[in-house]
């Protein structure tokens, strides 16, 4: 009995060693076979794909879309329009007006009315005291006066953001300003002796606002 058990144990032990040997070879072989081979051709392909794949621009770096024509001109433009190529200073002042409107949460229509008004009043230049040529005590982008209208001090009126904010505050208080012709809305604020004078600047104002966003006929001037 003892001899039979010993012989059986020997057979089992031998089989175990054989299985262990087979398992070891199989594991090694599988480990070797399942490792993907990296070839020069594969590396070249990956590099080529990466080189031709455009980088995704971060959202923070993307420019906001320009307002549409409907946003800028919800009421039809009327009358002959005056156009010219603006300079960098005029575009900077237009941007100051737009920024003031954005800070107040006002629509692009308000920006258009304000820029057109400034085009009429000062040709979008931040005018100081012109001496004998000055219209009373009118100053700045909108020719606001220090002596009347509570527009502010001379220094404040010549600050484009302050001047634009003051104009837009008055505009915002005009009932229906955003649905009336531009020249009427501007006149409600400015009370000019020439109430129709603002109309001819509407198309130019819209184009200058578009230039701030890098579009339209004056986009290259803003670079």
| Residue 139: DSSP 8-state | E
pLDDT at 156 over 60: yes
Confidence band, pLDDT 50/70/90 cuts, at residue 64: confident
Closest by CA to 72, choosing from 221, 170, 211, 222, is 211
Q: How far apart are CA 177 and CA 11, in angstroms?
A: 103
Do 174 and 191 meet the contact criterion of CB atoms below 8 Å apart?
no
Torsion of CA 185, 188, 193, 195, to 10 degrees: 20
Residue listed under structure tokens 């603006």? 86
Helix ranges (DSSP H) in 34-87: 40-52, 69-72
pLDDT at 128 over 70: yes
Give the tokens for residue 123.
């040709």
Round the CA-based radius of gyration of the chain to a whole number and report it: 38
| Residue 172: DSSP 8-state | H
Closest by CA to 89, choosing from 45, 51, 120, 127, is 127
- Which tens digits make up the pLDDT trace of 9-21? 544 455 544 444 4
pLDDT at 221 over 60: yes
Q: How far apart are CA 206 and CA 214, in angstroms?
A: 13
What's residue 40's pLDDT?
65
pLDDT at 39 over 90: no
* Residue predicted with more confidence, 12 or 221: 221
Give the tokens for residue 52.
């031709």
What's residue 137's pLDDT?
78
């Amino acid at each position: 009995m003892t001899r039979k058990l010993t012989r059986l144990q020997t057979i089992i032990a031998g089989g175990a060693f054989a299985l262990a040997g087979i398992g070891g070879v199989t594991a090694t072989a599988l480990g070797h076979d399942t490792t993907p081979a990296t070839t020069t051709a594969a590396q070249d392909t990956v590099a080529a794909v990466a080189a031709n794949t455009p980088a995704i621009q971060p959202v923070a770096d993307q420019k906001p879309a320009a307002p549409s024509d409907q946003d800028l001109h919800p009421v039809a433009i009327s009358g002959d329009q005056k156009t010219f190529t603006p300079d960098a200073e005029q575009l900077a002042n237009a941007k100051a007006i737009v920024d003031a409107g954005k800070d107040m949460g006002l629509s692009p229509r308000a920006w258009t009315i304000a820029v057109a008004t400034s085009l009429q009043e000062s040709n979008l230049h931040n005018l100081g005291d012109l001496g004998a040529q000055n219209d009373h005590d009118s100053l700045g982008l909108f020719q606001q006066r220090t002596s009347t209208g509570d527009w502010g001090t001379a220094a404040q009126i010549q600050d484009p953001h302050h001047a634009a904010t003051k104009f837009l505050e008055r505009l915002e208080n005009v009932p229906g300003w955003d649905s009336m012709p531009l020249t009427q809305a501007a006149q409600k604020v400015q009370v000019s002796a020439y109430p129709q004078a603002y109309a001819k600047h509407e198309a130019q104002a819209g184009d200058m606002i578009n230039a701030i966003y890098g579009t339209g006929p004056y986009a290259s001037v803003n670079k």
